[in-house]
Amino acid sequence: MRGINVGGHRAFRPKLLAKQLEHLDVVNIGAAGTLVIRRPVTRAKLRAELQRRLPFDAEIIICHGREIAALVSQNFFDGYPVRPDVVRFVSVLSRRATATPRLPVILPSTRTWLLRVLAHHERFVLGVYRRQMKAIGCLSALDRVFGVPVTTRSWTTMTAIAEVLATARPRREAGSGSKSRATRRSERVGESEGRSPSE
């Protein structure tokens, strides 16, 4: 979901939504409205269920698990090692981009950059931004750069999603009903996402 729990606006507890969607075997990741749906459901039905339960209108962007798995299997950040002052991010396009800017996109276009777009892969835009509040404005500008609404998550969150998809079994198969290590980890990832440009 896009724009959830940002700067005190559209305040919402995604964990409660995940509980309401228990019949779909949902795992909530962080506080930004990122849900992993582990039971088969059509996109139309899922979108309708989410819209019916949300207390406000929100842009809902849905990806198939295989898209996430393919994304994290590639090394898009080669040459950009982990640094405490820089966040690796993935912006998910709501649909195919209507603009194809030349890469890298650097915002602002001055010596002191706040955001760099490194790659555009299908519905995903990958890059890095500085851990500064001003970077939020640069992230918001990606809608204009690619011509469609986007929602952004850290690379850490995307890898947590892939781990849940790869290792967590549906509860009906687990038998004991206990949470897997991947599920417990995913619930701790990105708790500050959606509130500031940090993890």
Residue 149 exposure: Cα atoms within 13 Å on the Cβ side: 10
- For 20, counting Cβ atoms within 10 Å of its Cβ (0-12 exposed, 13-18 middle, 19+ buried), the class is middle
Say what the pLDDT of residue 198 is.
Answer: 43
What tens digit of pLDDT does each residue of 92-148 get? 999 999 999 999 999 998 788 999 999 999 999 999 999 999 999 999 999 999 999
Domains of the chain: 14-68+157-188 (no CATH), 76-155 (3.30.70)
Both tokens assigned to 36 = 């992993």
Calculate the alpha carbon distances from 44 to 17, 20, 131 in Å. 18, 18, 36
Q: pLDDT digits over 66-79, tens only?
A: 999 999 999 899 88
In angstroms, rounded to a whole number, what is the distance separating the alpha carbons of residues 111 and 2?
Answer: 30
